[in-house]
């Protein structure tokens, strides 16, 4: 290997360093020749977990003299430790101190102009919007982010456009930008792929805004008035079923089924087959014994796996969907459940108020 031309070594290292950074770190320990030849690719794909790794990596970038030592193309960044994201057993709690740190560390990492794909999963609340520098990256093509990060941006006087961004995956956490169609369009007016995951039924305004935005996508007369970017080729929408909430009500269950039918109707009327509505989260094929906490682990492990597969086949990683996960295949069951819940809702009201008059 030491006698191999650097051009050949570069091709090998570019294909090899596509994991969480382990390959790049291992190559730096082989020999001085390999270390020098792999410098450009050692950090091109990195996964960072928790405040300690974030601080250490930010310091590494700050001390790097050569630009080759700061070349990060694919980044998975979360303020939760690895054990919290992927291996947390039921009932186990981890106190992560990352909320005690400012956004300075995150911004020092995100300022790399070479970033092409970014998974930014922040669970804590920050005083400053942590995504400010990320959306200004000239080469960023794909972004997976919590909805609260987009919401923080809307508090700024101006939201910079990310003209290179083509694929956006928004995951709802504790808040959602309103209107969401405007946030998406301002973030990337040339977006081609959009995925909206875990939309909570409790956010009625969000659901209505998404439904209205999708309805406008079906109207081709005036693309300028479309809420979502007119360049979209695929939109994936998935609600979070209220059965996963601790304080669910029959009214919420009826609401998610009602919006599910509206979304399904929009999908069936989309002659260009751009809009795909996925089954609610609890209807996904997870093992029956899977708890609510474990389902979160499964979900975020899927995000990590999709981030790792983007090099081999970017479209297949997130945007190709198993037909069995599409909503219309379970609409018969959902309609029956809707009628049952509606009847139960009426019975509860009759018991509470015997004088109520029912009209059928």
Through-space distance between the first and last CA atoms of the chain, rounded to whole angstroms: 80
Distance CA 140, CA 116 (A): 4
The predicted structure's pLDDT at residue 135: 61
**Tens of pLDDT, residues 131-157:** 765 567 788 999 999 887 776 544 554
Tell me the pLDDT tens digit for each residue of 29-62: 888 888 888 888 888 999 999 989 999 999 998 8
**Predicted structure pTM score:** 0.80
Pairing state between β 117-121 and 142-146: parallel
Write down the pLDDT at residue 279.
79
Arithmetic mean of pLDDT over the chain: 75
Counting Cα atoms < 13 Å in the Cβ hemisphere of 165 gives 25
Q: Per residue in 298-322, pLDDT tens?
A: 888 888 888 887 655 555 556 667 7
238-290 tens-digit pLDDT: 887 654 444 445 555 555 567 777 888 888 888 888 988 887 765 444 444 44
- Domain range summary for the chain, segments of one domain joined by +: 1-42, 44-352
Give the burial class of 343: count Cβ atoms within 10 A of its Cβ; 0-12 exposed, 13-18 middle, 19 or more buried. exposed
Residue entry with tokens 């005690």: 100
Say whether pLDDT at 161 is over 60: yes
CB 130 within 8 A of CB 103: yes
As beta bridge partners, residue 275 has 235
What interhelical angle do 6-16 and 32-42 show, nearest 10?
50
pLDDT of residue 98: 47
* Pair of tokens at residue 95: 């106190």
β-strand partners of 193: 167, 234
Give Dmax over CA atoms of the chain in angstroms.
91
């Amino acid at each position: 290997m030491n006698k191999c031309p650097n051009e050949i070594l570069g091709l090998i290292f570019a294909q090899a360093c596509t994991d969480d950074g382990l390959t790049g770190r291992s190559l730096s320990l082989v020999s001085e020749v390999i270390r020098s030849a792999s410098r450009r690719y050692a950090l091109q794909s990195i996964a960072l977990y928790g405040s300690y790794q974030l601080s250490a990596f930010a310091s590494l970038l700050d001390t790097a003299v050569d630009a080759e030592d700061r070349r990060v193309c694919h980044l998975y960044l979360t303020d939760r430790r690895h054990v919290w994201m992927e291996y947390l057993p039921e009932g186990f709690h981890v106190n992560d101190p990352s909320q005690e740190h400012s956004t300075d560390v995150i911004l020092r990492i995100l300022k790399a102009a070479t970033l092409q794909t970014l998974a930014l999963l922040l669970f804590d609340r920050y005083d400053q919007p942590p995504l400010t520098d990320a959306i200004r990256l000239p080469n960023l093509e794909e972004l997976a982010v919590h909805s609260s990060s987009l919401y923080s941006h809307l508090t700024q006087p101006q939201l910079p456009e990310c003209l290179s961004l083509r694929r956006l995956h928004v995951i709802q956490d504790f808040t959602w930008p309103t209107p969401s169609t405007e946030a998406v369009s301002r973030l990337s007016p040339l977006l081609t792929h959009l995925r909206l995951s875990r939309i909570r039924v409790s956010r009625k305004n969000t659901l209505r805004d998404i439904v209205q935005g999708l309805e406008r996508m079906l109207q081709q007369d005036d693309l300028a008035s479309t809420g979502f970017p007119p360049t979209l080729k695929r939109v994936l929408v998935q609600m979070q079923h209220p059965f996963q909430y601790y304080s669910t009500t029959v009214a919420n269950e009826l609401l998610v089924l009602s919006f599910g039918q509206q979304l399904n109707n929009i999908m069936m009327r989309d002659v260009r087959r751009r809009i795909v509505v996925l089954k609610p989260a609890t209807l996904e094929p997870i093992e029956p014994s899977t708890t609510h906490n474990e389902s979160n682990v499964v979900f975020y492990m899927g995000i990590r796996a999709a981030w790792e597969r983007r090099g081999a086949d970017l479209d297949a990683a997130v945007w190709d969907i198993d037909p069995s996960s599409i909503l219309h295949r379970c609409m018969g069951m959902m309609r029956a459940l809707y009628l049952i819940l509606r009847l139960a809702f009426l019975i509860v009201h009759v018991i509470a108020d015997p004088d109520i008059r029912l009209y059928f």
